[in-house]
Amino acid sequence: MGSGYRGRLAPSPTGYLHPGHLSTFLIAARRCAEQKGTLVFRMEDLDRSRCRPEFDRASLEDLGLFLEWQEGPDLGGPHKPYRQSERLKRDIYLPFWQKLRDGGWIYPCNHTRRQIQAKQKEQGIRPGPTGELSFPRALRSDVSASLKYQRPENQAFRFRVPDEKIEFKDNHLGSVAYQGGTDFGDFLIWSVEGYPSYEFAVVVDDALMGITEVVRGEDLLLSTARQLLLYRALELEIPEFYHCPLLRDDSGERLAKRKGSSTIRSLLERGWSAERIARSCMAESPDPELIQAISK
Ligand code: GLU
């Protein structure tokens, strides 16, 4: 019998996985195993312009070399489907979007990226803790404007962020706090391309899949603050959080798929065994050989 702990692996199939992802997923799997919990694999494949079927397949294959999950796109389970694109087709996100609309939390936003950037410049908006510029308040619309929409379809909607401090306890970092409206501004709930944003879909799915602890990289700390606002607006039970340190290359830059940093596949092709990769990814202090191998 498993315990009540439910953890998850939630890769986005936008590229081949690299050791930075693996190190987070190994920590997630270890924390779940320590609690004799259930591990869920959820494919976060909503962004049609960036996700590819070959990366979807590869992420299942690559992670399958290192760890086991009990529910997922390949295994099924009580919360299927485990691909967000399939969940979107089944309208799973719609009632939650409607709740945000009815609660007066979101507004339709028709500003182009260029208009947003011009306003940010005009108003001298400074980068927040992750270097991102907040959405300018001057471009906000009234939340009542969303009431005329039955469905989001191909219309963008933003969450109106209150000017308040958002604090949470992280199981790794301790107490964390961000200031809404300063550290981050109104964020997307639904994109003009017709799909839910990461922040929105991840909250709905973590809640529906009964996830009790979200283990993710430290780069998503600010996202967790945004997501806490969504849990509150949607009246969903809040899981615990554990943010993992990021693996960095030898110039101190974090690994990112988009930068084409060295992948797990390429390490295997270069003769690294799965055991050695896993050991290096889980080492207390960064393994210099791994850092060198992935910095090329
Ligand atoms: N799918 C997200 C990513 O690959 C991770 C989501 C999360 O852990 O919340 O960056």
Considering the domain architecture, whether residues 118 and 75 belong to the same structural domain is answered as no
Q: Are residues 142 and 171 in the same domain?
A: yes
Q: What is the CATH number of the domain that holds 260?
A: 3.40.50.620
Task: Give the model's pLDDT for residue 259.
Answer: 57
In a domain, 205, yes or no: no
Cα-to-centroid distance, 273 and ligand 1 (Å): 26
CA-based nearest residue to 99, from 230, 213, 264: 230
Do 103 and 38 share a structural domain? no
Q: For residue 179, what are the domain limits?
A: 94-190
Q: Tens digit of pLDDT for each residue in 213-267?
A: 999 999 999 999 999 999 999 999 999 999 999 887 767 777 665 455 589 999 9
**pLDDT confidence bin for 46, thresholds 50/70/90:** very high
Q: Mind listing the pLDDT tens digit for each residue in 166-188?
A: 999 999 999 999 999 999 999 99
225 in a domain, yes or no?
no
Any domain includes 230: no
- DSSP letters along 166-196, please? EEEEETTTEEEEEEBTTTB--EEEE-TTSSB
**What mean pLDDT, rounded, does the chain reach?**
94
Please say which residue of 142, 157, 190 terminates a domain. Answer: 190
Ligand 1 pocket test, candidate residues 55, 198, 218, 241, most atoms within 8 A of CB: 198
DSSP letters, 47-59, are -TTT--HHHHHHH
Helix 53-64 vs helix 19-34: crossing angle, to nearest 10 = 50
Cα 84 to averaged position of ligand 1 atoms, centre (Å): 12
Do 104 and 186 fall into the same domain?
yes
Point out the domain boundary residue: 172, 190, 208.
190
**Residues facing residue 217 across a β-bridge:** 244
Q: What is the pLDDT of residue 191?
A: 96
- Do residues 135 and 163 both lie within one domain? yes
Is pLDDT above 90 for 279? yes
Domain count, the chain: 2
Assess whether the C-beta atom of 46 lies below 6 angstroms from ligand 1.
no
Residues 63 and 41: beta-carbon distance below 8 Å: yes
For residue 293, the model assigns a pLDDT of 84
List, for residues 10-34, the tens digit of each pLDDT value: 999 999 999 999 999 999 999 999 9
pLDDT digit string, tens, across residues 58-116: 999 999 999 999 999 999 999 999 999 999 999 999 999 999 999 999 999 999 999 99
What is the domain-level CATH number for residue 160? Answer: 3.90.800.10
Bridge pairing between strands 187-190 and 157-159 = antiparallel
- Ligand 1 in reach of 220 Cβ (< 6 A): yes
Query: Does any domain span residue 32?
Result: yes
Find tokens 């596949």 and name the residue.
265
Burial 199-232, CB ≥16 within 10 A → b, else e? bbbbbbbbbebebbbbbbbbebbbbbbbbbbbee
Q: Kindly give the distance from the C-alpha atom of residue 215 to the centroid of ligand 1, in angstroms, as a whole number.
A: 9
